Structure 1
Amino acid sequence: MELEESSHLPSSFEKLKITSPMSPSAPAIIPRPQISSCPLPSYHGKGKPRSLVSLCLGVLGQNLEDILNDICEIAPIFPPDIKLAITAIARRKKLLTDDILVALADHMWYILDISGSNVTDVGLVKVAAICTNLRAVDISLCDHISERSVSCLIGHCHSLETLRCGGNPSSNYTARRFLKYLMPTLQCVEEESWEELEDKEISNGAPSLRWLVWPKIDDNSRQILAECPRISINPTPSLLNLRGMQVPREAFPNTMLDDSILEDIDPKTWAVCNVAARIRIQAPSSTFELPIAERFRLAFEERDARLAPKRAKNARQHKRRAERERMTSNMNAKSLALAYKANKYFRNLS
């Protein structure tokens, strides 16, 4: 058996065409290993694994509470998109405050979503002065934002196209208060020549604002904004709106503004689990609560604004009724009315 096996060895070697590497006649041919064609496993349902940056952001987001005390020192080393992603994770974990937002703010940002956070007027005013290139901002469900900070936002961000607001009574009240800053108004400017007027701003308002997302807008506010047809209220998600303009994704009512920033990050990153016990940094205004007198005042002003159109309608009805009564009771007015009708009648006959 051993002799038979040894006799078959040369023929098998000849089939493999193996030669000595020192032989000058022919180079050595080394067979390549065959790679298995088994498909790679899918990680998050998209057919491809997450990027290394997304995985690092996931780990960083899960331990975000541990680095908040040093966020001011480590934030400058991050690029703008990473800062924006950290801000979005902090907002989802209910950790976003004035200090964190100002520390992460970058002038390269084009969107800002602080909806449902503890950001106040102080933080929004500082961020508006830093992020002057913002095109879309979401301030809905913010109880500590007033019209003062929104006016600063409009004054600094001249490229603002989309504004999202409302969502609760406090935010709806703020939205009604800052409507006057959205409407275009002319200023009285006096100079000696037209050349000097070129450097002066002759109008106020939000010149680039096109889309206002306010889910439960009241009729009175809608009538006020009707005077500025440039602003579309709650546009429908379609390729083109009624004016032939393409509705951007930031103006879709059922989407979050910063969803595109975190689309490649595991949602478990911002799962809230006993977060409050681990946080040591808190903004001084995060525990602010309106006094009872201020709540009553806001409720009264909201009710007064809601009933203003009805009062105006009743006033017009009373005025017309009083005019009719005066016409029927006063003989001079009645005679003038009958003379007018007679004159009109004879004019039609002729």
Structure 2
Amino acid sequence: MQKTIVAIARRRKLLDDGILNALLDDSWDTLDISGSDITDLGLTKAAQTCPNLLAVDVRKCKKITIVGVSALISQCHSLEILRCGGCPSSESTARRCLSILVPKLNAVEEESWENLENTDLVDGAQSLRWLVWPNIDPESKARLAVECPRIAVNPQPSPLSLRGVEVPLAACPDSILDESYVAGIDPETWATTVSDADRAGINTLPSASEQGQDLPQLSMAEKFRLAFVERDLRLAPKRAKNMRQRQRRAEKEWVTSSADAKSVVLAAKFRKSL
């Protein structure tokens, strides 16, 4: 439920730190905040709440800088897929983040190798394997290839696996991380354009006096509730059909497996023949 609300809020250009922080769950392993108003504070909170994140999309997030990405890398040690870039500010952030993506040796103060058993020798995005950055510049791509060749940049799905490892769907540039959360929901329930005037609090809709009637303002929670009600009504016939099929299947299995049921069927046939 929370993931679906976040996905719809992102599509309606309403996702910000407040909405995200209110819905975060520590069981999440993917996070798509692309094109949203999430800031470094919101991304840091998400990384702290969801330390098991495997794939994160921060493309076109104008308010996220190297500070937020650094918090993500430091908190989510299992992060394998990072999606970035997409707009001038995000492209600049991605270039700055190269320094925290490539591994680097930490300072070692122990006097013997035996004391290094529980010491991290390498810092950086140790688990990162896939970087989706469609407009990566040649210099950044060359640097990653030299300093961190284990990170595959913009992998393309193909019949042959990449380096012996199958490319995950979340690492494909054309995929959308949160697409599965809104599957089956009519896009018209969130298809709306939010202009800068709307974000500034200016009502661009015709006034009540111009339309001759009052325009009730629905809360965001009510809009989400109506979207789910519409979805349930649309899927109700399909659920009823599936229920009838399961019931007929159960009756058929009962008839074929139960001796009592077989005797009832044979008695009915015999009665009909008489």
Q: TM-score, normalised by structure 1?
A: 0.54
| Cross-structure match for 2:191 | 271
| Cross-structure match for 2:178 | 258
| Cross-structure match for 1:122 | 41
Distance 2:44 2:193 in 1: 31
Does residue 1:243 correspond to 2:160, yes or no?
no
Q: In the TM superposition, what whole-angstrom CA distance separates every residue of 1:89-124 from its partner, at most 9, and x where no partner exists?
A: 110011100111111111100100000000011111
Q: Percent identity?
A: 55
Does residue 1:181 correspond to 2:100, yes or no?
yes
| Cross-structure match for 1:203 | 122
Q: Secondary structure at the match of 1:112?
A: strand
- Which residue of 151, 156, 164 corresponds with 2:70? 151
Cα separation, partners in 2 of 1:116 and 1:273, compared to 1, 3 Å? closer
Distance 1:189 1:235 in 2: 35
Distance 1:202 1:274 in 2: 48
Deviation at 1:270, TM superposition (A): 1.3
| Cross-structure match for 1:113 | 32
Q: How does 1:38-187 map to 2 (within 5 A)?
A: 82-187=1-106
Cα separation, partners in 2 of 1:274 and 1:188, compared to 1, 3 Å? closer
Distance 2:56 2:218 in 1: 27
CA contact (8 A) 1:235 1:241 kept: no
CA contact (8 A) 2:26 2:51 kept: yes
CA contact (8 A) 2:13 2:194 kept: no
CA contact (8 A) 1:150 1:178 kept: yes
Distance 1:204 1:185 in 2: 5
| Cross-structure match for 1:287 | none
Deviation at 1:279, TM superposition (A): 8.7
| Cross-structure match for 2:263 | none
Distance 2:70 2:219 in 1: 32
Deviation at 1:238, TM superposition (A): 2.3
Distance 1:99 1:173 in 2: 25
CA contact (8 A) 2:130 2:171 kept: yes
Aligned-residue RMSD, C-alpha: 2.0
Deviation at 1:193, TM superposition (A): 5.0
Cα separation, partners in 2 of 1:172 and 1:199, compared to 1, 3 Å? same
Cα separation, partners in 2 of 1:215 and 1:279, compared to 1, 3 Å? farther
Q: TM-score, normalised by structure 2?
A: 0.69
Residues matched between the structures, number? 200
Distance 1:243 1:94 in 2: 38
Cα separation, partners in 2 of 1:220 and 1:137, compared to 1, 3 Å? same
213-222 vs 195-204, which deviates more?
A: 195-204
Q: Which has the larger radius of gyration?
A: 1
CA contact (8 A) 2:65 2:93 kept: yes
Cα separation, partners in 2 of 1:247 and 1:239, compared to 1, 3 Å? farther
Distance 1:98 1:242 in 2: 36
Deviation at 1:198, TM superposition (A): 2.5
Q: In the TM superposition, what whole-angstrom CA distance separates every residue of 1:130-177 from its partner, at most 9, and x where no partner exists?
A: 110101000000111101110110111111111100111111000000
Q: Secondary structure at the match of 2:4?
A: helix
CA contact (8 A) 1:98 1:119 kept: yes
Does residue 1:226 correspond to 2:145, yes or no?
yes
Q: Which runs of 5+ in 2 are unaligned?
A: 204-216, 221-274
CA contact (8 A) 2:62 2:90 kept: yes
Q: Which runs of 5+ in 1 are unaligned?
A: 1-81, 282-350
CA contact (8 A) 2:12 2:193 kept: no
Cα separation, partners in 2 of 1:240 and 1:181, compared to 1, 3 Å? farther
